[in-house]
Structure 1
């Protein structure tokens, strides 16, 4: 597999331009379009994606090692099909609606200020993950390890403390209804 290191990619539409299967290390992708581009079996190591569209891109066997995504549109990505070896990603102000992290191990990952509506987190290992200021409307948590996760400022989440591990997790007072939803009680201020 070809290795491409320290290369910047800017304003490229990979729906039209060829994107060679390779190992990309320390590369920067700025304002690139990968929508529905098959990224299966690619390797991204210490790469940064800024203002890119990766929506519906297949990522079967794809490696994401220490990758950062900033202000990216990433709708409907099946991260549960990515290569789990050394998987680590950071997301800031990204739209990840309808994506799946089913059974994925993402310890200490960052999802700050993200749209995580209708995202699948069932059986995921999300210890010490940061969800600060993220919108989790319709996100699905079941048998998810959320130990020491940070939900401060996160909105619209519903998760059952009996069906998930939340020991040491942080929540805002405004988020309490999302933890007590199953009891059908009303909280008033």
Structure 2
């Protein structure tokens, strides 16, 4: 446990402008806490719990999420690069607005009805992910890997940069718009003129 966090539980606390980079913040519960302009880069958040918390303009790149509980958490303007979200524990519920999630991994997660607004996902991976009814509003999906993902009724109508192999994913009633939707044809042996 880091020297900053001396208690096992924190409720209704505000943390502003603090640097927890490379710290071990393990087995601590946070409820209705606010983190603003804090850095958690390379921090170990394993076994910790975040319920009804808000992260604003924070850097959480490459944090370790070993059995970390994240529920009703809001991330706004945060750097969340290179995180393996597959290590979260139990129900996972979060909102992401204006975040950088480049090279993040979401393996076999249930992200049903998740909302991503103005986020960057360059090089992110969604393998076996349930994204049914999810919304990618004005999101950059360049070089994302979608494989065995459930995209049923997902909304990609304002997303851009994606290349989704329709033969490897479930895309029933998903929403796409032109000209980006043309990329869905890339794996067919056809010529578009």
TM over 0.5: yes
Runs of 4+ deviating beyond 2 Å: 15-21, 184-188
Measure how far apart 1:21 and its partner are. Answer: 3.7
Contact 2:129 2:148 in 1 (8 A): yes
Q: Hey, what does 2:175 align to over in structure 1?
A: 170
Select 2:50's aligned residue among 44, 50, 57. Answer: 44
TM-score by length of 2: 0.91
**TM-score normalised to structure 1 length:** 0.93
Partners of 2:191 and 2:134 in 1: CA distance: 28
Instruction: Tell me the SS of whatever aligns to 2:138.
Output: coil
Listed as ranges, the matches of 1:36-185 within 5 Å are 36-83=42-89, 85-183=90-188, 185=190
RMSD value, Cα? 1.7
Gaps in structure 1 of 5+ consecutive residues: none
CA distance in 1, matches of 2:62, 2:97: 19
Partner SS, residue 177 of structure 1: helix
Residues 12-39 of structure 1, C-alpha deviation per residue, up to 9 Å, x if partnerless?
Answer: 1112877564111111110000000111
SS in 2 for 1:66: strand
1:187 CA displacement = 4.3
Q: Higher mean Cα deviation, 175-184 or 42-51?
A: 175-184
Number of paired residues? 187
**1-structure distance, mates of 2:157, 2:38:** 32
Gap regions ≥5 residues in structure 2:
1-6
Higher strand share: 2
How far off its partner does 1:3 sit?
2.2
- CA distance, structure 2, for counterparts of residue 24 and residue 184 of structure 1: 52
1:186 and 1:114 mapped to 2: Cα distance?
A: 32
Q: Distance in 1 between matches of 2:105 and 2:32?
A: 25
Q: Distance in 1 between matches of 2:170 and 2:22?
A: 45
